[in-house]
Structure 1
Amino acid sequence: MTPFEWILTVCIAVMALSLISGLVLVLRTSDALTKAVISDLVFYTMICIFLTWTLTNPTSIGYEVALLAALAGGVLPTLSMARIISKGRR
């Protein structure tokens, strides 16, 4: 393994620890707002892990996943967070 691959492996390990701690927090909390924020953290962490993995393992859909994640990760969580904060009122 090259030094770059070692650095990416360490980065993926740190992101995986963040993902696991977020999942534990989702299971332990009862607040809906906290669950919504942590679900965004889990989503972004999974996307980051995938995109970091694609730096050394080329895939044919890496770019498309990044675009879809940007679209779904930028617009949809903002709308859902607004609905959760306002308790469904418009």
Structure 2
Amino acid sequence: MTPFEWILAVCIAIMTACLVSGLVLVLRTSDVLTKAVLSDLVFYTMIAIFLTWTLTNPTSIGYEVALLAAIAGGVLPTLSMARIISKGRR
């Protein structure tokens, strides 16, 4: 393994630890707003892990997945978070 791959492996390990801690907090909390924020954390962390993995493992669809995740991950969670905060009111 090259030094760059070691650095990426450490980064993926740190992101995985953050992902697991977010999932534990989702299971332990009863607040709906906290669960909504943590679900965004889990989603974005999974995208970050995938994109970090694609730096050393070239795939033909890696950047299309990133583009789709940016569109779906940027718009939809913002709308759902607004609905949760306002409790469904417009």
TM-score, normalising length from structure 1? Answer: 0.99
Q: CA RMSD in A?
A: 0.4
Partners of 1:15 and 1:53 in 2: how far apart?
12
2:70 maps to what in 1?
Answer: 70
Partners of 1:14 and 1:72 in 2: how far apart?
25
1:27 maps to what in 2?
Answer: 27
Runs in 1 of length 4+ with deviation above 6 angstroms?
none
Question: Which amino acid in structure 1 is aligned with residue 3 of structure 2?
Answer: P
Matched, 1:79 2:79: yes
Partners of 2:17 and 2:65 in 1: how far apart?
22
Matched, 1:47 2:47: yes
Q: In structure 2, list runs of 5 or more residues that go unmatched.
A: none
1:89 maps to what in 2?
Answer: 89
Matched, 1:17 2:17: yes
Question: Which amino acid in structure 2 is aligned with residue 34 of structure 1?
Answer: T
Partners of 2:53 and 2:37 in 1: how far apart?
24
Q: Secondary structure at the match of 1:68?
A: helix
CA shift at 1:89, angstroms? 1.1
Partners of 2:22 and 2:72 in 1: how far apart?
20
CA shift at 1:73, angstroms? 1.0
Q: In structure 1, list runs of 5 or more residues that go unmatched.
A: none
1:38 maps to what in 2?
Answer: 38
Cα shift readout 1:28-54 (whole Å, capped 9, x = no counterpart) = 000000000000000000000000000
TM-score, normalising length from structure 2? Answer: 0.99
Identity of aligned residues (%): 89
